[in-house]
Structure 1
């Protein structure tokens, strides 16, 4: 054993025991004398004991105080640790509540925005259908204008029907332009809605991920599996926001979505109003053009009937004047024999002898008769010439009437059969209620 050995924590110097038998084998008397002079006195022995007792009491008191302080520190640190863990859990729970609140707000707003986007897509399809539906009446109006270009002669006029058709074509084109512009506006609004929806969904996914992590953290305890040391993790701060900016970010996303929903709803209302206005205006122009076509067809039919009456009268007059011309020719022909008779009489009386060759009343009457017959023939010839001239005029009139009658028939065919035939039914299904 080491004579200088001292237990750990010993505050006193180690005790050295002198060898009482050192050199006793060589000189016993010398060893006894040395041991006598090196021994302690009883007082020193008692004092040494008292010192040991005091040192023991002191060491024990210090140890008891240390143990008491250690127990108190352990109790306090345990309480603080439990309190800190409980406070951290409570804060994580509050964070879970806040995140859940905004998660629900974001989810509700995302659903409302998705529903609004669905309605807006329906409006977009309705606008596209309205634009395509206007092609049919536009094509019909242009076809009517094309057909009416085939009118002939005097019927090729810029009448109310043509004016109505031109106004209808212009209105339909303007309506298509308005619908296309609003369609572009709806498409842009859909893009804005999708952008807001994307931000909501991204924020919602982040909230779901954060909730999953916080729920896991909230369920952890001192006996949970998978807990480890991560040295220095408390000094690592990867956060990019504070509670105020975090809440403001979600609030801004919700407000943006609400604003986009408001604009989208207004855009749908404007589209519905525009489509209703376009449908009503298209129906009004359609009805006005049909009314003008009906009136024009009635006027043309009336003119055609009158032309037929006049043609019948002219035809009858041509027949009558032909008979009159035949009578005049016959009358002229009938004057030839009386002329022969009177001229034969005059020639025969020129053969009277001598004094019998007298210019008597009979001679005067025969001469007057010749003049009268010649005058009658001249009158009859003039009347025949007049009748022939009038006959030619009547033939020309008949030709003009027949030509105009053909023009009127052609116009009737175009307006009543072709144009009104094309416009017999309204080519758009969505007819406004007042049009029924």
Structure 2
């Protein structure tokens, strides 16, 4: 039978219904799988987004907390170091004041040293037997040694204070540098703490995970901060003792100088009393010596008169003997008259010899008294000169008492006061 419609089929292999059903089932399974995969992907993505958002928020929170804790820690260390710095500044100022007072005390020793030296030179101008190594000379030299020792000790203490101030300045520089670094770090971390993800000045950085070459571990930073604090405490440890030592050495120096000065004044007054007593004794001896010389002079005159008187008597007796030698004949006899006249001549000769010897002794005694009188006059002059020297020394040393040691005024300050130049000099 001939077909009325012509049909055409693709020149492809057609599948059967079973294959079509199988393909439909496979497509359905594939679609379900894809949807399930997409669902799982969306679920995992949402979960990842939530977890990463939460983790990012918590990481940001923890880092903010870490920054805040770090800022708090650095502020605490900064405050600690600032307290050390304030204490160092106070100690440095106090130590400089003590050093300045010690230097003024050291400069003020110039006046006592010059006075004592002048006293020693003045007493060295004594003459004769008064130029002795007496107690006054010994104590003046001892006072000069005391002043020199005090001066040397004050110089050593000032040197120690100067070295301590230099060490404190070095520590102060280190502490100040650490405080400045911490202050800058605190400000930097505070700026980082104010940043968030919505800020305009944030961007990607090149190699943000790099470690800076000057970076140090936290433990090293902590050790450095502790070392700086320990260094400051160690330097401040003996500063108070040094200031007390400066004060004590000044007071001890004043006490030693005052004690030695009072003792020297006592020795000089004692020496003046001894010289006055010796001078009075010499004046009495001089007076008695002059009286004795007058008596010896009168006795010499009496002996000379007596000797002259014996000359006439001797002449008379010798003349009688000579004249009786001219008796004639047997009248030239050695009678009692001749014997008596010879005895008289002999006695007069012996008497003249005795008077002459006594006169020579009297003249020798007078000469000895005169020589002793010269020695007494010279010794008295020396004692008067030594007495005036010690009195001038004692008067010169009165400047030490009028010198105000408590103010520690130097000779320059004294000259300024004497010349009324206080208003002319600008304040320092």
TM-score, normalised to structure 2, is 0.80
Greater Rg by CA: 1
- Assess if the C-alpha contact under 8 Å between 1:297 and 1:415 holds in 2: yes
1:138 to 82, 97, 113: 113
Q: Cα–Cα, structure 1 residues 373 and 30, in superposed 2: closer, same or farther, change >3 Å?
A: farther
Moved more, 381-390 or 57-66: 57-66
Q: Which residue of 2 aligns with 1:175?
A: 150
SS at match of 2:120: helix
Matched, 1:281 2:261: no
Unaligned runs of 5+ in 1: 1-28
Q: Which residue of 1 aligns with 2:242?
A: 267
Matched, 1:291 2:266: yes
Unaligned runs of 5+ in 2: 408-428
Give the alignment of 1:348-363 within 5 angstroms: 362-363=337-338
The superposition leaves residues 135-169 of structure 1 with CA deviations (integer Å, 9 ceiling, x where unpaired) of 43333333333333333332233222233233333
2:192 to 217, 234, 255: 217
Q: Cα–Cα, structure 1 residues 126 and 431, in superposed 2: closer, same or farther, change >3 Å?
A: closer
Superposed displacement of residue 364, structure 1? 4.7
The superposition leaves residues 116-142 of structure 1 with CA deviations (integer Å, 9 ceiling, x where unpaired) of 122222232233333333343333333
- Assess if the C-alpha contact under 8 Å between 1:297 and 1:416 holds in 2: yes
Q: Cα–Cα, structure 1 residues 36 and 190, in superposed 2: closer, same or farther, change >3 Å?
A: closer
Distance 1:30 1:343 in 2: 236
Q: Which residue of 2 aligns with 1:247?
A: 222
Moved more, 158-167 or 391-400: 158-167
Distance 2:140 2:81 in 1: 54
SS at match of 2:209: helix
Moved more, 90-99 or 277-286: 277-286
Q: Cα–Cα, structure 1 residues 427 and 178, in superposed 2: closer, same or farther, change >3 Å?
A: farther
- Assess if the C-alpha contact under 8 Å between 1:301 and 1:412 holds in 2: yes
Q: Which residue of 1 aligns with 2:299?
A: 324
Distance 2:380 2:313 in 1: 48
SS at match of 1:425: helix
- Assess if the C-alpha contact under 8 Å between 1:153 and 1:407 holds in 2: yes
Superposed displacement of residue 310, structure 1? 0.4
Give the alignment of 1:334-345 within 5 angstroms: 334-343=309-318, 345=320
Distance 2:406 2:337 in 1: 99
Q: Which residue of 1 aligns with 2:415?
A: none
Matched, 1:411 2:386: yes
Matched, 1:380 2:350: no
Q: Cα–Cα, structure 1 residues 50 and 308, in superposed 2: closer, same or farther, change >3 Å?
A: same
Matched, 1:229 2:209: no
Distance 2:288 2:6 in 1: 189
Superposed displacement of residue 291, structure 1? 1.9
- Assess if the C-alpha contact under 8 Å between 2:115 and 2:396 holds in 1: no
Q: Which residue of 2 aligns with 1:402?
A: 377
- Assess if the C-alpha contact under 8 Å between 1:96 and 1:215 holds in 2: yes
The superposition leaves residues 81-138 of structure 1 with CA deviations (integer Å, 9 ceiling, x where unpaired) of 2221111111101111101100100000111112112222223223333333334333
Moved more, 41-50 or 307-316: 41-50
Superposed displacement of residue 51, structure 1? 8.6
Q: Which residue of 1 aligns with 2:129?
A: 154
Superposed displacement of residue 208, structure 1? 0.4
- Paired positions, count: 404
2:81 to 101, 106, 123: 106
Distance 2:376 2:294 in 1: 16
User: Comparing both chains, which one has the higher relative contact order based on Cα–Cα distances under 8 Å and sequence gaps of 6 or more?
Assistant: 2
Distance 2:309 2:399 in 1: 66
Distance 1:37 1:211 in 2: 81
Q: Which residue of 1 aligns with 2:171?
A: 196
Distance 1:232 1:200 in 2: 34
Matched, 1:300 2:275: yes
Q: Cα–Cα, structure 1 residues 53 and 351, in superposed 2: closer, same or farther, change >3 Å?
A: closer
Superposed displacement of residue 288, structure 1? 2.2
Give the alignment of 1:16-95 within 5 angstroms: 33=8, 63=38, 66-95=41-70
- Assess if the C-alpha contact under 8 Å between 2:325 and 2:332 holds in 1: yes
